[in-house]
Amino acid sequence: MMAASKKVLDQEPSEIEVLLPWHAAGTLNARDTRRVDEALARDPELARQYAVIREEYAETISLNESLGAPSARAMAKLFAAIDAEPARAPSTSLNFSARIAEFFAGLSPRTLAWSASLGALALLLQAGVIGAVLVKNQTSSFQTASLSTNAPITRDLGAAAAPYALVRFAPEARVADITALLDSYQAVVTDGAKGGMFRLLFGNRAMSKDEVAALMSRLQREKIVSLAVAAP
């Protein structure tokens, strides 16, 4: 990395070298900042150049700050010119976000603080109302597959339930094979493996007895399935 700063100035500067001023000003993105930091830690010549840049940076700020500010004449001239402009509604001259910004900029810190508090309170109230409505309207019960209990798993979601099956996979079945099978049948493992059997849920719609039987025989024919039986 010494090459980064060893380059003679007649040559093109390195990619890192040209980023140093922005690093000094703190305006580099995170990725480039990290790259420059690493280069500076490795390359003492680059670090020396960086020290020079920091000096330039400080003096440039100092020089600009010493320039002072414009007189009131400039402002008077501007607003006289604006007054002389053809009549127009101010709302059409500024876009929506600018008007919002101008509105908030005009508020005192105390007013802003009160407004923020009121806003937060309103949000809390709104969240409470939404929560209450949801709880009141909830008629379905749901139990996650991961919950282990002796009681039968209930899935009363207001519609007939999708079929379950108990499946034993062949000993040589790999995880990738099982995952592929689950995908192809749109199935999920809801419990297992008790006695080497996995409880699978198929799809998200109810099936007739014949459909379930066909599904089981199809499953049974899979190379990695050694047993598949329909389950309640």
Partner 1 sequence: MQVLYGRHHVRVFRFGLRLVRDEQVAEDLISEVFLDVWRQAGKFEGRSAVSTWLLAITRFKALSALRRRKDGELDDEAANAIEDTSDDPEVAVQKKDTSVALRKCLTALSAEHREIVDLVYYHEKSVEEVAEIVGIPENTVKTRLFYARKKLADLLKAAGIERGWP
Give residues in contact with partner 1 (CB under 8 A).
9, 12-13, 17-19, 21-22, 24-29, 48-49, 51-53, 55-57, 59-64, 67, 69-71, 73-75, 77-78, 81-82, 85, 92-95, 97-98, 101-102, 105-106
User: Which residue, 85 or 172, is less far from partner 1 as judged by CB?
Assistant: 85
As a whole number of angstroms, the distance between CA 216 and CA 218 comes to 5
User: Which residue, 45 or 222, is less far from partner 1 as judged by CB?
Assistant: 45
User: Which residue, 112 or 157, is less far from partner 1 as judged by CB?
Assistant: 112
Minimum distance from CB of 5 to partner 1 (Å)? 8
Count of residues for the chain? 232
Minimum distance from CB of 3 to partner 1 (Å)? 15
Minimum distance from CB of 13 to partner 1 (Å)? 5
User: Which residue, 59 or 156, is less far from partner 1 as judged by CB?
Assistant: 59
Minimum distance from CB of 33 to partner 1 (Å)? 12
Q: Is 202:165 a contact under the CB 8 Å cutoff?
A: yes
As a whole number of angstroms, the distance between CA 104 and CA 98 comes to 10
DSSP secondary structure string for all residues of 155-169: --SSSPPPPEEEEEE
Pairs from 41-47 (Cβ < 8 Å, separation ≥ 24): 42/1, 42/2, 43/1, 43/2, 43/4, 43/5, 45/2, 45/4, 45/5, 45/6, 46/1, 46/4, 46/5, 46/16, 46/17, 46/20
User: Which residue, 18 or 120, is less far from partner 1 as judged by CB?
Assistant: 18
Minimum distance from CB of 18 to partner 1 (Å)? 4
